[in-house]
Homo-oligomer: A and B are copies of this chain.
């Protein structure tokens, strides 16, 4: 059951545990926070599967939420660098960012 637990003598607590570089962690956390919402994760899933950019009005129709809320969620994804927007007339079309870091792309590959 239990793997080999390190020896530890009372009062000798605690040896060190080295954290990771905080810059990388902060960057990852920003992406994770953007994805850690059902609506936004769904949005990313749709965009990942879509062959062409998707009009944001399609999301407004699909997710039982108000139009400003949908806009707010998409803005979060854009702010995190996950999606890009292209305007055509009065419409706004969103797609996955094309310059995604390989690690971020791998993340989406696993998630959605």
Contact = CB atoms under 8 A, between A and B. Distances in A.
Interface residues of A, number: 53
A102 to B, nearest CB: 9
B3 A58 contact: no
Given A13-B57, A61-B14, A4 B112 contact: no
Interface string A27-38: 011001101111
A106 B95 contact: no
A71 interface: no
Contact of A19 (B36, B63, B93, B106): B63
Contacts of A53: 2-3, 5-6
Contacts of A57: 13-14
A46 to B, nearest CB: 5
A35 B112 CA distance: 17
A76 B26 CA distance: 19
B46 A18 contact: yes
